[in-house]
Amino acid sequence: MRSFGFPRGGASFPLAGLSVALLAAGCSIEFNPDRTTTVSRRLNQTIPQPDIGSLDIDALNGDITITVDPAEGVMRLTAIRRATSRSQALAESAVDQIEVGIRVAESQPPHVFIDVDAPPDDEFTSYEVEFEIVIPAGMLIDVNGERGDVTIDGNDGQVSVRLRERGNITVRDQTGDVIARSGAGSVSVTTQTGDVEVVTTTGRVSVATGEGSVEVENTSGDVGITASPVPGGAVIAASVSGGISVQVPTGFAAELFMSTIAGNLAFDFAGFDTEDVNVDFERRRVTATLNGGGGQIELQTQFGDVDFEGF
């Protein structure tokens, strides 16, 4: 591994707990947070419609787990509605205001829509719906939500997950393209085939593809990519304060660009046929043509390290 770096300094400071006592003659003050109560309601439903083609979820807050069972010919859904408030009575009244709508569009193939409606959270009451869904193989999945973790396991078909605020996204054993966007949270994608696009602001991004291009944008987290793009494909990764580590097959043909502002660059071209290698120490950039070029590898961060190698 060939590398070059630049000295960086810094200091860390311990952050201690803060204790404040207010004393007055003849009196004392004590603060106790309000206690809350959570009430849950469970909905179980089976959708026996054969040959379901796609699933569209428009959720609010709460975790979503979707598992593919190739032996299933139906969709099985569990929705757990939860409301948390200051008393049992308020929580029971609040949970009844959460509505979960399920409908099957008359299309070929059939399209299942799941919609959640609830009042917005306030300082006294919060609402969420947790989903556990088992689906047949070969479906397209589109998930939109506010907050909560999303896990999709074993799907064969395109996957799109968008979390408007925050949550971790995990897509495992996937065949087909993946789009994963979270306001803040880690993202992990493992695909057999398919292109991957990831956008998040905080948290580690990990992508492994058997065949497909990858594009990742992460503001303040590390990015790790192992990709095997098709000829002419691309691996693009950008971060502000995170490090970037990328591996591609030594037979992949591409134009390589690596850069950092305040980090280190490390690269290992063993196994590649390289041309026009340029290492710019002053601007902290590396460019090279790998195996004659054709595809694209672009790795950029401002305050993190960049590592590149073949396998």
Return d(Cα 297, Cα 272) in angstroms, integer: 14
Least confident of 31-35, 98-102, 118-122: 31-35
In the predicted structure, residue 10 carries a pLDDT above the cut 90: no
In the predicted structure, residue 19 carries a pLDDT above the cut 70: no
pLDDT (tens digit per residue) in 258-310: 999 999 999 999 999 999 999 998 899 999 999 999 999 999 999 999 999 99
Mapping DSSP to helix (H, G, I), strand (E, B) and coil, where does residue 52 land?
Answer: coil
What is the CA angle 261-262-266, rounded to 5?
90
**Could you give the dihedral angle defined by the CA atoms of residues 261, 232, 180 and 266, in that order, rounded to the nearest 10 degrees?**
-30
What is the structure's pLDDT at 1? 58
Return d(Cα 159, Cα 175) in angstroms, integer: 9
Range list of H helices, the chain: 88-95
Percent with pLDDT over 70 in the chain: 89
Mean residue pLDDT across the chain: 89
Return d(Cα 289, Cα 278) in angstroms, integer: 10
pLDDT (tens digit per residue) in 40-63: 999 999 998 778 899 999 999 999
pTM comes to 0.86
Strand spans (E) along 184-270: 187-193, 196-200, 205-209, 214-218, 223-226, 234-239, 244-248, 254-259, 265-268
Mapping DSSP to helix (H, G, I), strand (E, B) and coil, where does residue 88 land?
Answer: helix
Return d(Cα 195, Cα 47) in angstroms, integer: 30
Return d(Cα 58, Cα 45) in angstroms, integer: 17
What is the structure's pLDDT at 48? 84
What is the structure's pLDDT at 109? 87
What is the structure's pLDDT at 2? 53
Within 8 A by CB and 6+ apart from 98, the residues are 41, 81, 83, 116, 117, 118, 127, 129
> What is the average per-residue pLDDT within 16-44?
57
pLDDT (tens digit per residue) in 188-239: 999 999 999 999 999 999 999 999 999 999 999 999 999 999 999 999 999 9
Q: Which two tokens stand for residue 27?
A: 């009196």
Bond before 33 cis per omega within 30 degrees: no
**Regarding predicted confidence, which is higher, 72 or 202?**
202
